[in-house]
Structure 1
Amino acid sequence: AGCVPYKNMWLVTKLLSNERYHYVELHHKSNIGDKLWQVGEKIQECKLLEISYEKKLPVQETVMRVVRPVAIIFSEYYFYLIAFIVEKNDEQKYELKYDYPAVFRIDRITNLTTLNEKFQSTDASRFEEGEFRKRVQFMFPGKLVKIQFNYTGKSIEAILDRLPTAQIVSQQESTYRVEAEVYGKGILMWLLSQGDSIEVLRPLSMLNEMKDMLLQMIDKYRE
């Protein structure tokens, strides 16, 4: 038995046909099925992977990384490998290079090799996909930081929905002071998209980075 009543199937078929007609294929045109399967297996087996990855920013280059794969996530049109980058210490044992996960678009992984070395399953179980999604914007990774900003826009509910970790710490007339815990660089892109509705307060490093980015944007429009 299907999930859709028979009398409504024509409507569902019509809606799906419309979506299929307007569908635009992604530019990379890569068949990533085998990669998804291989990466998924290594996550379950808790095995290290060595990957060749095509970076686009700040310059286009291919880099090699050894990683502990912990999850596959679909977001913003793409499949991503979430993994912790590792490197060998003085005793030639792999250890975490950073205490936060890296994000790799799977279609940009040009080669992957399984290493004959496993990592503790507790490392994988410690990663919580739902908590990661709450704190990442546009799948841009980075350090976990606490930010504080003033919001004077029309819908504070939209802000709280976009940033699930956000909390209103105070309100003065139509100005809300909000705190949130977020990962890395993606939050800067989102903050800039809010125009003059948002004023970043903390941390100071992010405030200064916002100022620099805004000045660079203004310079592009000077005559």
Structure 2
Amino acid sequence: MQSYKRLKGEKLLMANDYNDKVSRVLSLYQRLMEGKVVDKEAEAARYGVSARSIQRDISAINNFFEQETEKSGVINSIEYDKKRGGHYLSQIYRTRLTNSEILAICKILLDSRAFTRERMEHILDILVDRCTPAEGKAIVQDLIKNEEFHYIELTHKSEFVDKMWDIGQAIHQNRYLEMDYKRTKDGAIVKRRVKPVAIMFSEYYFYLTAFIEDEDVKADFDVIDDAFPTIYRIDRIAGYKVLDKQFKIPYGNRFKEGEFRKRIQFMYGGKLQKVKFRYKGSSVEAVLDRLPTAKILEEKDGVYTISAEVFGKGIDMWLRSQGDMVEVI
């Protein structure tokens, strides 16, 4: 009888200890999530336990965070900072995109038609499998499968991503690039030695923007000075070599890719110019989105007078495509 009572008492004591530990861990968890600093010694005194017990509690919470990372795509980590006087929850980083973000990216990729079918399928598989929260994978796959099945790759059918990375390295290191380039107008292979400054994407293709150094070659281009780069489709670069020689561009004269992007249409190179036209279509927003530098000068009876600053002759192609909705001034 006495042994039975003793056993029962021990079980009650263990249950109380367990409940106390659960309450202690939950309290620590809540305060950490609220951004408070936890002092291990103070917590030990508060709960009447050793500092080692509090350390085990903190480790248990950290283990829980690690397990949740795989499910939620969020990294939480308890760190110690002597200056702050204890343990705290470090900044939260999202490691995965949301279902809606992945779906949007997949749709943009498919619409771009930028890669071969094999490369596109590879990229989409990785995006959906490794970057999408588990509960949304099947839905995202279902929403893109038809478009992926009917995907039509571009006529050049060439792999160029490794080439693009090498060119990117040359840009990063300010190294000259020698290349054999297949011209669009006649298919002839020409040699170029250029200063590569940016990689851009537009209308299905990736492009290299670069400055030509050869004065004889420059003479054949509309570009007449170092202020304006020339543009090359990366898939048309038949051969290339990144040279050891570096070029220098003063910081104040560095190529501003974002500013160039706002002023270039259909990646047709050329001089910087200003255009002015009247627009009488149904969506002036579409014009402003197409021409980021555009400004509405006047609006009268639904007709807008617009000016814009642009590079090259691509703007002529766009203006002609608008038909009667545009009158060039």
TM-score, length of structure 1 as denominator length: 0.80
Give the corresponding residue for 1:161: 289
Output the amino acid matched with 2:264.
V
Higher helix share: 2
Q: Percent identity?
A: 48
8 Å CA contact retained: 2:167, 2:242: no
**Aligned equivalents of 2:200 and 2:169: distance in 1?**
15
**Aligned equivalents of 1:8 and 1:125: distance in 2?**
47
Q: Which stretch shows the higher mean deviation, 124-133 or 183-192?
A: 124-133
8 Å CA contact retained: 1:191, 1:198: yes
Q: 1:81 aligns with which of 204, 208, 228?
A: 208
Question: How far is the alpha carbon of 1:116 from its aligned partner?
Answer: 3.9
8 Å CA contact retained: 1:136, 1:186: yes
Alignment of 1:111-130 (within 5 A): 111-122=239-250, 126-130=254-258
CA RMSD across the alignment: 2.1
Question: How far is the alpha carbon of 1:99 from its aligned partner?
Answer: 2.1
8 Å CA contact retained: 1:151, 1:199: yes
8 Å CA contact retained: 1:86, 1:97: no
Aligned to 1:71, what secondary structure does the other structure show? strand
Output the amino acid matched with 2:199.
I
The structure showing larger relative contact order (alpha-carbon pairs under 8 Å, at least 6 residues apart) is 1
**Aligned equivalents of 2:253 and 2:145: distance in 1?**
40
Question: How far is the alpha carbon of 1:6 from its aligned partner?
Answer: 3.5
Q: Which has the larger radius of gyration?
A: 2
**Aligned equivalents of 1:124 and 1:109: distance in 2?**
30
Give the corresponding residue for 2:267: 139
Distance 1:83 1:182, change over 3 A: same
Size of the aligned set, in residue pairs, is 194
**Aligned equivalents of 1:185 and 1:150: distance in 2?**
19
8 Å CA contact retained: 1:68, 1:83: yes
Give structure 2 stretches of 5+ with no counterpart: 1-72, 74-95, 100-132, 217-223
- Runs of 4+ off more than 6 Å: none
Output the amino acid matched with 2:201.
F
TM-score, length of structure 2 as denominator length: 0.55
8 Å CA contact retained: 1:85, 1:97: no
Distance 1:176 1:56, change over 3 A: same
Question: How far is the alpha carbon of 1:17 from its aligned partner?
Answer: 1.6
Q: 1:21 aligns with which of 117, 133, 149?
A: 149
Question: How far is the alpha carbon of 1:107 from its aligned partner?
Answer: 0.8
Higher strand share: 1
